Structure 1
Amino acid sequence: MFEFFTECARRAVVASQDEAIALGHDFIGTEHILLGLAATEDSTAWEVLTAQGVVLERVREETVRLLEAAGVPSTGGQPAKDALASIGINVEEIKRQADSSFGPGAFQYPRPAYTAHAKKALECTLREAKALGHDRFGTEHVLLGLLAAGEGRGLDVLAAMGADPSGLRAAVLAQVAPNHP
């Protein structure tokens, strides 16, 4: 599926993974997808989000606040690292050697998995692009997919920021499909 994403949309997906790792989460939820979109400057999604006051730092603050309030731990994948350590594998040493050989950040373990809501949002991305007659998926389609999924903490973050999902949807459609009903 990711082969159909534009370069900009790929950067947003990678940014969502990076945000999850930076926040110490061993999952990628819709909140991380929203963070990835807010981090991908000069994209359609970024323009629409920014116009409604949905900017990266505020998204990050609300994400952290909501996850902490929900009791979601920032483990940084520690359970997986502990399991490997119990059989003699030192993940930190592997990371150090990879960073030394390939550059800082070359090795990330564990790679966070997508939540069910995030998977649904990405599936909706495909449906939204196809409904518009588009063969490639841009950040605008990812944002439309996130909104169309109808659930997940990404929508909670938007609500906490006072952003209107239907207004965001209308703004995206006005840019990419002005004649779309």
Structure 2
Amino acid sequence: MFERFSKAARNAVRDGVQIAERDRAARVEAEHLLLGILAQDRTPGTDILVRHAVTTAAAREAIDAARRRGGLSTADAEALTGLGIDVDAVVAAVEHSHGEGALAAAGRRGRPFGWRVPLSAECKRVLQRCLVEVVERGENTIGDEHLLLAILRTGGTAADVLTGFGVTYEVVRDSLTRA
């Protein structure tokens, strides 16, 4: 499948894997692919993200905040707040008892020398969804913009982070149609 990926998309995936390795993550997640896209320069995907003020630092901060909540999305946290549950207070209580980042720590691990970080099931779904996005758009090559569409369509933490910046599936699709 990677033979259909453009150079920018291959680089984004490669950089995402390297970011996961540097983070000592248990698996390569969609969030790492998002950070890998942001590591590229002047690509269709990064151009859309730049227009919405999505920077590597801002995305990393939002990802870290979601991980600190144990991966709970902003929408889920708001829904719980509507039910009278203060998610920040729950996170603070857990961290008080078990240490800072206790809810996020489960995804970290050591890595034996030379062992590659495996792709998570969600990350695999994103990569598979890229092909669907290309076919639906009547295109042949998978670019980083298709990675972005696939991340948004698949859902999860990375999609939630992007939505927080106003980057939705429809916004990206419309931007690509106008381009």
Q: Say if 2:115 is the partner of 1:110.
A: yes
Q: Aligned equivalents of 2:117 and 2:164: distance in 1? A: 25
TM-score normalised over the length of structure 2: 0.74
**TM-score with structure 1 setting the length:** 0.73
Q: Which residue of 2 aligns with 1:46?
A: 46
Query: What percentage of aligned pairs have identical amino acids?
Result: 26
Question: Secondary structure at 2:138's aligned position in 1?
Answer: coil
Residues matched between the structures, number? 147
For 1:1-181, list aligned pairs within 5 A. Answer: 1-70=1-70, 71-73=103-105, 77-78=109-110, 81=112, 91=113, 109-149=114-154, 151-175=155-179
Question: Deviating runs (4+, > 4 A) in structure 1?
Answer: none
Q: Go from structure 1 to structure 2 and tell me whether the alpha carbon gap of 1:140 and 1:159 turns closer, same or farther (over 3 Å shift).
A: closer
Structural RMSD (CA): 1.9
Cα distance change, pair 52–142 in 1 and its aligned pair in 2 (3 A):
same
Q: C-alpha offsets along residues 124-144 of structure 1, whole Å, 9 cap, x if unaligned?
A: 100111122222111111111
Specify whether residues 158 and 75 from structure 1 end up closer, same or farther in structure 2 by C-alpha distance, changes over 3 A only.
closer
Can you give the 5+ residue segments of structure 1 that lack an aligned partner in the other structure?
82-90, 92-108, 176-181
Where structure 2 has 5 or more consecutive residues not aligned to the other structure, the ranges are 71-102
Q: 1:153 to 1:75 in 2, by over 3 A?
A: closer
